[in-house]
Amino acid sequence: MPPVNSLTYRGWTITPRTFQIRGSRQWTLDLVIAYRTKQRAFSGPKTFQTEQAAIRGCHAFGRRIIDGRVPYCSLEDLR
């Protein structure tokens, strides 16, 4: 069973793994994208004011990666 905040998009599983940056009240853009038994971690420079906003941001970033719209973030070798 996937973690609670995971979602499936086009057969891929996007799992946020955001965390709060100590002393900043900001949440990170960190996620894992998995396909079957293979997975890859991704992160970005953007931060968010709440955990829920960061989770939504991770989902959106993950969808963009899966759609091939993020330069230098490839999933080709995981198929």
Supply angle C-alpha 25, 26, 29, rounded to 5: 155
Q: Global pTM?
A: 0.92
Tokens 């989902």 belong to: 59
Domain boundaries, the chain: 7-78
Contact 54, 46 (CB under 8 A): no
Determine contact, residues 25/49, Cβ cutoff 8 Å: yes
CATH topology of domain 7-78: Double Stranded RNA Binding Domain (3.30.160)
* Res 53 pLDDT > 60: yes
pLDDT bin (cut points 50, 70, 90) of residue 77 is very high
Mean pLDDT of 28-44: 97
Q: What is the mean pLDDT of residues 41-65?
A: 98
pLDDT, tens digit, 9 for 90 and up, residues 9-31: 999 999 999 999 999 999 999 99
Residue 63 is predicted with a pLDDT of: 99
Q: What is the pLDDT of residue 79?
A: 84
